[in-house]
Every structure is written in C-alpha cells, then in structure tokens.
Amino acid sequence: MEQSYESISWQDDHLVILDQTQLPLREIYSEVHTIGQVWDAIKKLKVRGAPAIGIAGAYGLYLGVRELDSKNFTSFNVELNRWIEYLKTSRPTAVNLSWALDRISQTVYANKDKELDEIKEIILETAKTIHDEDKRVCKKIGHNGAELVKKGSHILTHCNTGGLATGAFGTAFSVIWHANDSGKDIHVWVDETRPLLQGARLTTWELQNAEIPFHLIPDSAAGSLMQSGKVDLIIVGADRVTANGDTANKIGTYPLAVLAKENEIPFYVALPVSTFDLSTEKGDDIEIEERDPEEVTFLAKTQITPKKTDAYNPAFDVTPHEYITGFITENGLIEPDFKKNIKALFD
C-alpha cells in the first residue's frame, strides 16, 4: 500500500500544499503562488517537518526569482541571495531549509554563464530534484530502520515524522510504515506533542490512513509506559544534528531520551543525511526557535490560562548524543563513535 496523499506538489506554475493546520478535521489543499506565501506557510506551520520545509523553500525560491527582470547575472545573484536569506528567517532551526537553498545557490553559480531565463528553469528543476530525492531517501530510511524492529514491537514516537513532514513516507514514520508493511505486527504509542499537538492531530491521522494500530497518549504518560515495560523502542525524527551527534528535535524529545536510557530502551533518530550539519560542532551552538506564547496559553482559539499569563514556548530541544542509540539514514545505521562516523558520511 502506498501513501495516499501528497503534502507538497508542483502543479503547472505554482505550489500546492496540504494545510497541516487544518488537519485532522479538514483536508484542505492551498495554492501557493508567491515567495511571501511560502514564507508564511512555513512560519505558520501549514508546511512543517524539516525535509518538507526544505522542499517548500526550494520551490519558494523559484517563485521569488521567476519574475525578476535583472539585466545581468551579478544583479540577479544579489536578488537571489536576498530571497535566500528571507526564506531562512521563516524557521531557523531546521537545517534542511538552508541546505536546500544553499544547494540551489551553488547550482546557480555553476551555471552563471547561461541565460537568466535558463538559470530560472534550472532553479525549478533543482527544486523538483530535491523533492524527488527526498521521496527515494525516505523510502530507504524506512527499509533500513525496519530491520531494527522486532515482530510484535511497541514503538513510541514523538511529534509527526510522516509523509506530511517530508516528500513521502517520512523519516521515523517511514520506519514504522515499512515495519508494519513487512508483517511485523507492531503497535505505536503516539505522544500528543504539546503545545500544537502534532502527534494527536497529524501522526494519528497518518497512522489511521495506513491502518497501523496505535494509541494516543498524553506526553506525560511516556515515562510510565517505559517504566512498566510497555515500550520496546523509541524512534523520532530530527531538525538538525551537529557534528558530534547532538540532535535538535521537537520540544519534549530530550526527556524521552533520558527516560529511555534510564529504562534501557533503544532510542533511535531517523533522518536523511541532509539533516546532519557538520558546520555546527555541538548542540549548544544550535539556534532554538521560540514561538508565540499564545500557542501555549490557547488551545485552538480558546484561552486555557488566566489572562496575561506569561509563557515560554521553545519549538525544539537538544538531545545530547550520549542518549542516542543510533541514527537511521538512507545510508544505513550510524552508531557511536558518532563524531567519527557522521564525518565519514561526507568524506
């Protein structure tokens, strides 16, 4: 059974996205025609998940430059870099966005002697290539990770890492999908993932579509499940992994890793190689996005706190590498020594 929806697609001359802020109650596809609309979609989480953000940003860059009336490559490149920096401000923690935009920038420079209209088409084709590559990569991640899943396993996952967050299949979700597809009779514990409930709204929606058995749990129930022996392994995604293996992921990931180590439960991170950031040495160096406090003080449009309640709302936390069992990538499983083995991916 294949994935039955596309979170991002290029149609004719514009981008179409499945608006994730409307799920699971409404399945609404929105047309996106401008770079400003892409920036807004990323910022407001209509598009989310590190790989999907990178894909959307790549298409968004084309939408930004296609109408440019530059007279020469130098002026065109100045505008291109201005749009790149603009898109990077939408969500700074997820490295796939800057990775995709920088890849396009390098491709453009390599073709600087061509006509500007041809360069614009090269940008669009590069965005499509990034999109297609992600679909293939996520499938490989799933196949590689499924080998680690024993028959009858109870898997705990956090946030949303499925086809909604990528080109197709997902990262951690791809492991779950392929383990189930191979007849391993798995069961999934889904963290609700406060404050925006990506687990409760999105992962449950994808699991239902895939007909994979699951239970939704409050975030605070995860430790109790581990302590009682009801979790066999934990698989999460990542938004950025540093050179030493420290991992930024959705807020709430770090305590899961600590509890997993205490209860001797394997803790895996599933991700494409593009999410590794060798330019950042350790987790302390990662910029952590802080979002609107109203995401904490409101549930949907209903205020759930006294008025004028102050709230701190970091979107991510950093799990130190020593709490991670291994990284599941399209190139296979990366085990400690992480600094050495991550570097080897790029040698």
Cα–Cα nearest to 154, from 255, 219, 224, 234: 234
149 DSSP 8-state letter? P
Q: What ranges in 29-72 are assigned the alpha helix state H?
A: 35-43, 50-65
- Distance, in Å, from the CA atom of 292 to the CA atom of 174, rounded to the nearest integer, reads 30
Q: Is 239 a catalytic residue?
A: yes
Range 103-118 burial, b when 16+ CB lie within 10 A, else e: bbbeebeeeeeeebee
Residues with Cβ within 8 Å of 136's Cβ and at least 6 positions away in sequence, in order, are 330
Total residues found in the chain within this entry: 347
**Element holding 233 (H helix, E strand):** strand 233-236
Burial class (CB in 10 A: 0-12, 13-18, 19+), 86: middle
Say which of 239, 246, 277, 317 is annotated catalytic: 239
Q: What are phi and psi of 8, to 5 degrees?
A: -140, 135
Say how far apart CA 343 and CA 345 lie, in whole Å: 5
CA angle (104 as vertex; 239, 39 as ends), nearest 5: 55
Give the DSSP letter of residue 127: H
Residue type at 28 in one-letter notation: I
Provide the annotated active-site residues.
239
